[in-house]
Amino acid sequence: MRSDEDIMTAVANGKLEVLAELYRRYRQPLYGFLLKRTNKPAAAEDLLQTTFERVIKYRASYKGNSFKGWLYTIARNVLHDRQRLDGRLPLKNGLDLGQLPHTTPSAETDWEDRETRGQSQRALAALPANYREVVDLAWKRGLKYAEIAEVLGITETNVKVRMHRATKQLQINYAKINRL
């Protein structure tokens, strides 16, 4: 199996037919990333298509570094451009942990799982937006710190600091929620 970077290098060199493989690999995760921020399936689908159009348009600017980071940077820029243009796409707060697969052997366990997910969602929603974004990119999207830094246009050290602070704040948020 060819790496994302090898495939994108081929695309950058004019072999557009191999882009289909990257589309298959990233369609679902990128759609989820965009849907999480728009809360509108049709808008997320539009933004996904625009993202891949920009991948084609700017393929010559690809420098051989992390494709995943480069792709999410494009997607984030597409989202921000759309929000600036029409001002109607609300950012949805928090992460949707309810979409994670789970099995429950009993009604009691099911209730506990829902309660735990609800607490997690409340704790995440209470984070400042810049912390939530780093947590989402790292934990749900699986980006490495260097990729997150590239996507957000900040240093890797800043990503680490935000993750550390987000983790500390989540502990505080969980403690507050559990006291209620």
CB atoms within 10 A of CB 36: 19
Closest CA to 122 of 161, 175, 159, 168: 175
Rounded to 10°, the helix 145-152/156-179 angle is 100
User: Where does the pLDDT of residue 8 fall: very low under 50, low under 70, confident under 90, or very high at 90 and above?
Assistant: very high
> For the chain, which residues make up each domain, given as ranges?
4-86, 108-179
Write the CATH number of the domain with boundaries 4-86. Answer: 1.10.1740.10
Segment 146-172, tens digit of pLDDT:
999 998 999 999 999 999 999 999 888
Segment 105-152, tens digit of pLDDT:
444 545 455 566 777 788 888 999 999 999 989 888 888 999 999 989
Exposed/middle/buried for 178, CB within 10 Å: 0-12, 13-18, 19+? exposed
Q: Please check whether residue 76 is in contact with residue 104, taking contact to mean a CB–CB distance below 8 angstroms.
A: no
Exposed/middle/buried for 106, CB within 10 Å: 0-12, 13-18, 19+? exposed
The Cα 33–Cα 56 span in angstroms is 20
The pLDDT value recorded for residue 180 is 66
The pLDDT value recorded for residue 112 is 53
Whether the full predicted model's pTM is greater than 0.75, yes or no, is no
The Cα 41–Cα 31 span in angstroms is 9
- Distance, C-alpha 104 to centroid of its chain: 27
For residue 95, pLDDT beyond 60? no
For residue 85, pLDDT beyond 90? no
The domain 108-179 is classified under which CATH number: 3.40.366.10, 3.40.50.300, 3.50.50.60, 1.10.10.10? Answer: 1.10.10.10
CB atoms within 10 A of CB 126: 18
User: Where does the pLDDT of residue 97 fall: very low under 50, low under 70, confident under 90, or very high at 90 and above?
Assistant: very low
CB atoms within 10 A of CB 18: 15
The pLDDT value recorded for residue 179 is 78
User: Where does the pLDDT of residue 173 fall: very low under 50, low under 70, confident under 90, or very high at 90 and above?
Assistant: confident
- Distance, C-alpha 59 to centroid of its chain: 21
Segment 27-69, tens digit of pLDDT:
999 999 999 888 899 999 999 999 999 999 999 888 888 899 9
Q: Which residue has the higher pLDDT, 65 or 101?
A: 65
The pLDDT value recorded for residue 178 is 75
- 4-86 and 108-179 agree in CATH topology: no
